[in-house]
Structure 1
Amino acid sequence: MHTDAHADEPLRKLNPNPQQAYRITLTIHDAPGPLVLTDARAQYDVTNETPCGKMKPQGGPYRMTSSEPLELTRIDETTYQGTVYLDQILDEDYYGKGVCHWQFTEVRAALTATGASKDTRFAPFLDADKVIAQQSEKRYFWNERYPSSDFEGYSDFGNPDIKHFKPELRDSLFSTTLRSEKVQP
């Protein structure tokens, strides 16, 4: 159980032996130049933070969430691969109020031209439902935001629907695909 002295520490215990594994593959298609993977994360949220979590002085629970590093290894110039675990965080009683239940919510990546802070951050993601269903999602990005936009550190999450872009811009797009595949224990 955490006390107030440790309130700023991550409120989670990692599972030493996770079993629910999914291979995540990130593929880049037709980028206007090189892209560097600068970060990849797996997001987990507590589903019952009101009964189990720490309460704010003005009432209501603190949001209990954790963004865990996801190691994606470069396979070739356009492909990265790694493993995410649905059960990476252990359910536990952190405040003596009952067990907090962690749920995997998404994987996300960040790609930039050079890794510099001025670069546009292209940030594809894949929701937990699609990871578990072993699906993939292609997201489209406008080439004009490469290597940077008018705003330093701009994040572009792309769009899964090419029709979101005007027809005259569709030849000026690149895309990423995030794909999930269950790994047998």
Structure 2
Amino acid sequence: MKTAILLAGLTVVAATALGLSACSNAVKDPKYERNPDPKRKYVVTVKVDGAPGPFRIVTAGVRYVVGPSQECMPAAEPISGTFPTPEHANLASQVRRVSESESEFEFDVYLDGMAAKDYFGRGVCTWRIESVTMSLKPTGADRERKFSTNIDEADVTGNASLVLYARREMYGASAENDYEIFEDALKKEWFSKRYGDDPSKFFTITFSARESGRDH
């Protein structure tokens, strides 16, 4: 009798789990596509001033998010009310050294880098840039701190330079744990509040951008 009750209970649990799975709206790994023919290109130039030495390993990328509307995405889960389908996509950007310089770089950012299309049968998903990132490492050695920068779409299209500040003492320093691997470069007001204004303590990373084919 106990065995029969146990088997019946397991059957109910399995059926319930199957039912929840069947009514799930989630797409765990959506096959987002990059735009095969993007037109809205900006060239981002980055100049490093005052660093203790060169940066041999430099990478950049763009993080896109579905928007401004997300009505094209699967609806929330009926039970939990959460939206487990990811709304982000990341594209790497090839970094170029300017005239073989050890302190000046450039890379391309496409405002229309992701394909606008109907991914879920709920209408066309459009995209916007959430952030543009760049990281710099002196040598690429294991546990070496990585200087991390983060700007947004307005910084790319705004026709103005953006200066970030980073600690000189962390150049080539080893991280004791994973949390310390990333050394954030900050805007001046935030850097000053945290580390002070002594110019011997920092170097600068200056971003500027121009729309492709136009002079600014």
User: Structures share a fold, TM > 0.5?
Assistant: yes
- The one-letter amino acid of 1:59's match is G
Q: Pairwise mapping of residues 66-81 of structure 1 onto structure 2 (< 5 A)?
A: 66-75=89-98, 76-81=101-106
Q: 2:179 matched to 1:159?
A: no
Q: Measure how far apart 1:63 and its partner are.
A: 3.1
Structure label with greater radius of gyration: 2
Q: 2:143 matched to 1:118?
A: yes
SS at match of 1:24: strand
Structure 2 gaps of 5+ residues are 1-24
Per the alignment, residue 159 of structure 2 pairs with 134
Go from structure 1 to structure 2 and tell me whether the alpha carbon gap of 1:125 and 1:12 turns closer, same or farther (over 3 Å shift).
same
SS at match of 2:71: helix
Q: Pairwise mapping of residues 17-56 of structure 1 onto structure 2 (< 5 A)?
A: 17-47=37-67, 50-55=70-75
| TM-score normalised by the chain length of structure 2 | 0.74
Per the alignment, residue 174 of structure 1 pairs with 203
Match of 2:169 among 136, 144, 156: 144
- The one-letter amino acid of 1:159's match is L
SS at match of 1:52: coil
- The one-letter amino acid of 1:179's match is S
- The one-letter amino acid of 1:15's match is N
Deviations 1:30-61 (A, max 9, x none): 11122123421011111156422235643332
Counterpart Cα distance in 2 of 1:100 and 1:136: 31
Which of 1 and 2 has higher RCO (CA within 8 Å, sep 6+)? 1
Match of 1:65 among 77, 88, 92: 88
Match of 2:128 among 103, 115, 118: 103
Per the alignment, residue 14 of structure 1 pairs with 34
Counterpart contact for 2:57–2:139, Cα < 8 Å: no
Deviations 1:136-159 (A, max 9, x none): 211111112121254345212211
| TM-score normalised by the chain length of structure 1 | 0.85
Counterpart contact for 1:107–1:127, Cα < 8 Å: yes
Counterpart contact for 2:159–2:208, Cα < 8 Å: yes
SS at match of 1:13: coil
SS at match of 1:51: coil
Go from structure 1 to structure 2 and tell me whether the alpha carbon gap of 1:48 and 1:181 turns closer, same or farther (over 3 Å shift).
closer
Equivalent residues, number: 179
Counterpart contact for 1:124–1:178, Cα < 8 Å: no
Counterpart Cα distance in 1 of 2:28 and 2:192: 46
Counterpart Cα distance in 2 of 1:12 and 1:63: 10
Q: Which structure has more strand as a fraction of its residues?
A: 1
Go from structure 1 to structure 2 and tell me whether the alpha carbon gap of 1:119 and 1:49 turns closer, same or farther (over 3 Å shift).
farther
Counterpart contact for 1:31–1:175, Cα < 8 Å: yes
Q: Measure how far apart 1:126 and its partner are.
A: 2.0
- The one-letter amino acid of 2:196's match is K
- Supply the RMSD in Å over aligned alpha carbons: 2.3
SS at match of 2:209: strand
Counterpart Cα distance in 2 of 1:149 and 1:118: 5
Structure 1 gaps of 5+ residues are none
Counterpart Cα distance in 1 of 2:177 and 2:129: 31
